[in-house]
Amino acid sequence: MDEKYTRLDSDEVMRLITERKEQLGGEVCILGHHYQRDEVFRFADFTGDSLKLSQQAAETGAKYIVFCGVRFMAESADILTGDDCAVILPEMSAGCEMADLAAAADVAEALERISAVAGDTVVPITYVNSSAGVKAVTGRSGGACCTSSNARSVFEWALREKDSGGAGGAKILAAPDQHLARNTAIAMGYGLDDCVLYDPAAENGGLTDEQIRDATFILWNGYCYVHQVFTAEQIEHVRGERPGIKVIVHPECPREVVAAADLSGSTEQILRAVGDSPAGSSWAVGTEVHMVHRLAADNPDKYVRLLSDTPAVCTSMSRIDPPHLLWVLDNLAEGKIVNRISVPEDVAADARAALERMIS
Ligand code: 13P
Ligand code: SF4
């Protein structure tokens, strides 16, 4: 980005973004994830969780999608749109630390090893918070993607018999988030002993053949550092401080946190649960702080607080700031595309299969 953008006064940046948006009209569609800072979020044409935004991307007729989220979201948007739509990530370093915990070659190796032990019965299910390469491995192997809002239906599909429209799997390899996968398995009625942890850094994933054979869920050793901040003790604390308070957390939180909470759900589901609750309700929310603060501001008739006292910040999301947004819009207004996210077609084709299986 040109240095001059960092020197602009913030009100001027806001004014110029508004002007550029008007100038570009329907050619550009700005998508904003719930974790974005307010100064960026307010410019989004559509907001949502990962699932809603990927559906929105697939349906938009815009020439340009400016994705105010993180790289894996922009990659999914590129995979789901045609070549005539350019997907732009305003700051290329906005990655996802959880996605970085699973490399495509490691997932392919794990799948090979697990299939060698367990036979042809393992279905890879990949959380959308993953690289396009990991999604491609999944798509090539008959698996599907999932998001935090549909993980349970996708897991159920994976284990359902082929005659009943499922994938006919006996096991799921779930990457990269161990917590989402464990929480989903428990919600489906399985026990903790049906899950084993596959550590890509250890020989054979740190698992014996017997452990692999006995497990239904093989969980990748990945996690989100933002959601690791939340604990069951914090839940006890907020309940002690404000009796009757409801606790809602994201399923990326560890098992004991989801178990102690009243509810869990994707960012959009959290938004709806709090929004639809009666005036006077009290909520402690275990997810990224920007979303929780906005939720509190949008629901002045309710008490809404972050579950932890220490802020849970997704620093990757925060890298998308108004100067970067203005910079990409300025370039588009001059007919130039900067920071385009372009997944090579050989990877995109297999990744698309995994994403489309999820959407269908
Ligand atoms: P949602 O799909 O719930 O928006 O979650 C995305 C994410 O990255 C959570 O950390
Ligand atoms: Fe990735 Fe965690 Fe940020 Fe979500 S909150 S984008 S999982 S680092």
Kindly list the domain boundaries of the chain, sorted by start residue: 3-95+316-344, 99-225, 227-306
Superfamily of domain 227-306: NadA-like (3.40.50.10800)
Is 99-225 a CATH 3.40.50.10800 domain?
A: yes
Q: What is the pTM of this model?
A: 0.95
Domain 3-95+316-344 and domain 99-225, same fold? Reply is yes
Write down the pLDDT at residue 51: 82
Give the closest residue (by CA) to ligand 1 atom 2.
50
Q: Which of 34, 98, 134, 315 is the best mutation target for the ligand 2 pocket, counting ligand atoms within 8 Å of the beta carbon and taking the most?
A: 98
State the distance between the two ends of the chain, measured CA to CA, in whole angstroms: 39
- Are residues 176 and 224 in contact, defined by beta-carbon separation less than 8 angstroms? no
Write down the pLDDT at residue 119: 83
Q: Is 17 in the pocket of ligand 1 (CB under 6 A)?
A: no
List all residues 6 or more positions away from 117 whose beta carbon is below 8 Å from its beta carbon: 209, 212, 213
Q: Is 288 in the pocket of ligand 2 (CB under 6 A)?
A: yes
User: Measured between alpha carbons, how far is residue 69 from residues 51, 151, 242, 286, 358 in Å?
Assistant: 13, 20, 34, 19, 20
Give the closest residue (by CA) to ligand 2 atom 2.
224
Give the closest residue (by CA) to ligand 2 atom 3.
314
Strands 144-146 and 86-88: unpaired
Q: What is the CATH T-level fold of the domain 3-95+316-344, as seen in this structure? A: Rossmann fold (3.40.50)
Cβ atoms within 10 A of the Cβ of 174, count? 30
Write down the pLDDT at residue 360: 85
Cβ atoms within 10 A of the Cβ of 303, count? 14
Q: For the packed helices 267-275 and 289-298, what is the interaxial angle rounded to 10 degrees?
A: 20
Write down the pLDDT at residue 295: 98
Which residues in the chain land under pLDDT 50? none
- Are residues 62 and 337 in contact, defined by beta-carbon separation less than 8 angstroms? no
Q: Is 97 in the pocket of ligand 2 (CB under 6 A)?
A: yes
Q: Is 266 in the pocket of ligand 1 (CB under 6 A)?
A: yes
Ligand nearest to the CA of 149: 1
Ligand nearest to the CA of 222: 2
- Are residues 74 and 50 in contact, defined by beta-carbon separation less than 8 angstroms? no
Token representation of residue 102 = 């699973």
